[in-house]
Structure 1
């Protein structure tokens, strides 16, 4: 070994050697004590005969799905040998280069121009041991992905599930997730004599207890936020409520307002205040500043009383109730409606349902990252098939609802490399409290799903894709989007992992009226909640979607504009309604104010 590599090894030994064995042993004992508390929190509900929600992934389904991949490769010995040889050859190549590097024949490898964010520490490439681990892991992960991609006999749903499960396993098994195989974690643990693990395991035990036997991963410091003070703080009042929702009207900030009020139908997965996150990022506040009378539906967090509330109930007791209250408060029968995510899907389904009854009070519809065609619905389809729906129905049978943690975990798993493992490392292994982050505070404020509502949604949309085909039935009526003849503004976001831009585009072709399709930059949340004064991202506009124009062709023809899509939408809305009237008082003369915005339902 030459002097350079000898000095490198000596430096690493000093950096990674335990300095205070007594303090280290004491802290390891304290960390183990906290792990014991976490284990007790996990065991306690099960000893009482309770079965906490295990999350969206059924492990039996993981085994069954990956067995299908194994069956393909093992069915042909030559094919299996080829795959094994390819992996072994890669391992031998890594081993050979590692030996040559240790002997001084090879210099430290140049890092790729786009390094993996899991391996930022220079020891991942400088230290031969950690470099070897990293390369073996990356090779194995790529090999596993390739096995799924090349398993030709798999049906599309099984292949999608297999790719998703393999990705989850690969993310979980990354050497960056373990103290002994992550140089940064190991170095910090030695430097602190394990005190970081004591802090981390204390948080781990607290989060396991907070989740009632399942881990409730903290992603933001919640102490810095208060609903109604610096979250959901736009002034207004609850002007009506029923068992399913409250209707909030916001105070005017301009002398005149648009004649048509705006009614917002937010998703019931999480809470409406993503559109009123803080004064600087509030879409609702911006609408008020632009001279609109704004109403929003604040859905209740359902419990056993709401088990049988289906989509018809959410339309009647949510949207129709909201329309009635808007008319009572303002005297206006015509409304511009906005639906976000699944709230937009509900709004789209409600339009033909209401039209069939002669209710045409909604005169324009804005759908924000909302799907009506689920052909290209992305990885959430992984969680929906007949077996999984049957298991989900059994899970909800006793209580009448699905725990909020279930959907929260599902969304986190879609981006586990960003929303799970970095927090696992920082919280529990580094012992660092997460920073205050309003978006992740909202993300953790999960809501339950009413049984009938959720099963209807999953079956009719994700599993059978009935809405875009005119086959969805609500209250005995088949809803056909082709009868819609009002202006529709359909917003997608380019990096959306929940409502992919291609999926939103496909849905645009299901409506009877011409649709203005716009694609914003970023993802499902940041692409929507993007105030103009932040000057972030960009958006694309192009020709009207049609059966003859593919999504790829639309992208090729689209024009890019820097900044927020909000002003473009406002111009679109103004082109369909331009009348102005004096600003309205909250509740008007007909309604009594129940409580200040954001109301009590959002705190449930």
Structure 2
């Protein structure tokens, strides 16, 4: 394997790595350029500033009248002039409508609206820069919200009176417990109740193949007969595979096995400095293609239903395009869960991906050979700071109440690292340059693109996805030349996929896009596609069954004569790596 040459100047590399530890992996130059671009254009737009000022003054007049009346008569009822965004639930409690807390909340919301107007719609500013400034301002405002402080949050004050201050004592204990766990590199409290192989990832099976990148798990059948076509699942390596095999009640693997499918799962290694030079091509060849070879050796004859989740789906799409381009007809179908093959509309995660940011991250990773899991987790948390940071601080440390971990939360804390070479290529070639969707991505001496995929596709998007927005996932219907069934489910990037039958308050839309038919824009598709109640899993399983043969004899667990003997029970060893 060719050794990657780090940046030429070791002093710059060391400086950028040190800066990255202080900034959480964010490039100072990227932020500075964005704020300078915004400030210069705003300074040169007096008309725009006057419009914003007039709107702000009108809000202040309405707010002054409302607060004056409320100050005189604390029992006065009436609609507040400024309402939070629909997704903002910080001020839902009725106590926020009482004096003086209404003044705190309304003044904050007015300030929030002012800054939102100041950082949107400024002509001449790069869209990326404007989005970055707007995001940065929101981070500061979210931190300063009156809901985050004891003296200005009526719910915390009431709780303190009720408990005689015990909530603050308990909250302080929670804080120091979490600080110690973070310092010692331990998972959050309660995660010990969800151990892979004990409480989660317990579907019976065997590891039937292992190389330096993956373990391949084959799951034990639970039916008398199975469909001849096996299913190979390629999870994202940014996460442990067992999100698809959580508790028995919400395990997708268990569900598929119970429906008469033979299921194989890739479990990725948690890379360290030794794996720094693993590239995207390594992940295709020693990951997807090596697993596919093993599956077809263990279950010889039929084609394979391939399933990819998140960036595992992106990787699987690269492999499927390579198979199509080279004439290898090995896949019965391709299923993509919240996976993008085009990154021009990748949502707010694009805030952390530009030329400056990618160069900065490359220098950080080059020093130690990988991107630390905590830096990635921090970036994703910032996208939903109210839900994932500040509401937790208020609830755990000021209210003194612990939210008990569930299996999905515990899995989310079981993070992994990214090897230097692969993640650099992923950010540069796929995210930043969009090489795959634009026909420039090379795997060895073969250039691949989405039209090279030759198998029917089932694509799943989720309505509230901050990682892979469904409009971006939906582009698979535009960029490929095969039949695509697109399904949009309620929920977010993880909870929308873990949506087992019987899960309350779930719905989905599903529609077919035939090859060579005209493109239907996502908004028109959404409005014209009926909503179905319940889990989407049965609809997908019916789609798989329709493209599968009649159930027949059970396969072997591994195939020793083909070089794939059972090595150890599931969940294997790689998933336990820290």
TM-score by structure 2 length? 0.89
Distance apart, 1:217 and its partner CA: 9.5
Equivalent position of 1:122 in the other structure:
94
Equivalent pair of 1:261/1:332 in contact (CA under 8 Å): no
Please name the residue that 1:268 is paired with.
237
* Cα deviation, residue 140, structure 1: 0.6
SS state at 2:479 partner: coil
Match for residue 576 of structure 2? 603
* Aligned pairs, number: 554
Task: Give the equivalent residue in structure 2 for 1:594.
Answer: 567
- Unaligned runs of 5+ residues in structure 2 are 1-14
Structure 1, unpaired ranges of 5+: 1-45
Question: Which residue does the alignment assign to 2:119?
Answer: 148
Would the aligned equivalents of 1:52 and 1:212 in 2 still touch at CA under 8 Å?
no
Partner of 1:566: 537
Q: Which residue of 2 aligns with 1:386?
A: 355
Q: Please state how far the C-alpha of 1:193 moved relative to its aligned partner.
A: 5.1
SS at match of 1:534: coil
Question: Any residues of structure 2 matched to 1:90-169 within 5 Å, and which?
Answer: 90-104=59-73, 107-110=76-79, 116-126=88-98, 128-169=99-140
Q: Which residue of 2 aligns with 1:298?
A: 267
CA deviations 1:308-361 (Å, max 9, x no partner) are 111110011111111122123223452111001111110111112233444332
- Which structure 2 residues correspond to residues 165-180 of structure 1 after superposition, within 5 A? 165-180=136-151
In the TM superposition, residue 195 of structure 1 has moved relative to its aligned partner by 4.0
Instruction: Measure how far apart 1:246 and its partner are.
Output: 0.5
- 1:312 maps to what in 2? 281
**Once the 2 structures are TM-superposed, how far is the Cα of residue 172 of structure 1 from its aligned partner?**
1.7
- Quick one: structure 1 residues 53 and 257, their matched pair in 2 at CA, closer, same or farther if it must change by over 3 Å? farther
Task: Give the CA RMSD over aligned residues.
Answer: 2.6
Q: CA deviation at 1:373?
A: 1.3
2:365 is aligned with 1:396? yes
Deviations along 1:520-544, whole A, 9 cap, x unmatched? Answer: 2222122211112336422212341
User: Is 1:244 paired with 2:213?
Assistant: yes
| Aligned match of 1:32 | none
Contact 1:374 1:461 in 2 (8 A): yes
Deviation at 1:553, TM superposition (A): 2.1
Deviates further, 421-430 or 201-210: 201-210
1:186 counterpart (153, 157, 163): 157
Deviations 1:459-494 (A, max 9, x none): 122211121111111223210221222111111122
Q: Deviations 1:489-537 (Å, cap 9, x if unpaired)?
A: 1111222221111111112221121211221222212221111233642
Q: 1:576 to 1:503 in 2, by over 3 A?
A: same
SS in 1 for 2:306: strand
Aligned counterpart, 1:531: 500
Distance 1:432 1:217, change over 3 A: farther
Q: Deviations over 1:395-417 (max 9, x none)?
A: 10111100111121222222222
Alignment check: 8 A CA contact 2:508 2:531 kept = yes
Instruction: Output one character per residue of 1:157-200: Cα deviation in whole Å (capped at 9) or x when no partner.
Output: 11222222222222222110111211222333455454433433
Q: State the alpha-carbon separation in 2 of the partners of residues 241 and 536 from structure 1.
A: 40
Q: How does 1:443-592 map to 2 (within 5 A)?
A: 443-534=412-503, 536-544=505-513, 547-590=518-561, 591-592=564-565
- What is the aligned partner in structure 2 of residue 199 from structure 1? 170
Deviation at 1:385, TM superposition (A): 0.2
Q: Do 1:336 and 1:363's aligned partners in 2 also have CA atoms closer than 8 Å?
A: yes
Deviates more, 1:144-153 or 1:526-535: 526-535
Question: Contact 1:53/1:403 (CA < 8 Å) preserved in 2?
Answer: no
CA offset digits 1:441-472 (Å, max 9, x no partner): 11111111111111111112221112111111
Residue by residue, what CA displacement relative to the aligned partner does 1:57-106 show, whole Å, maximum 9, x if unpaired?
44554454234333222224454355345435534543443233222398
- Cα 1:238–1:169 change in 2 (3 A) is same
TM, length-normalised to structure 1: 0.86
SS in 1 for 2:532: strand
Aligned residue for 1:258, secondary structure, equals coil
Q: Which has the larger radius of gyration?
A: 1
1:582-604 Cα distance to aligned partner (Å, 9 max, x none)? 11232144333222111111111
Q: Quote the Cα distance in structure 1 between the aligned partners of 2:503 and 2:26.
A: 38
**What SS does the aligned partner of 2:151 have?**
helix
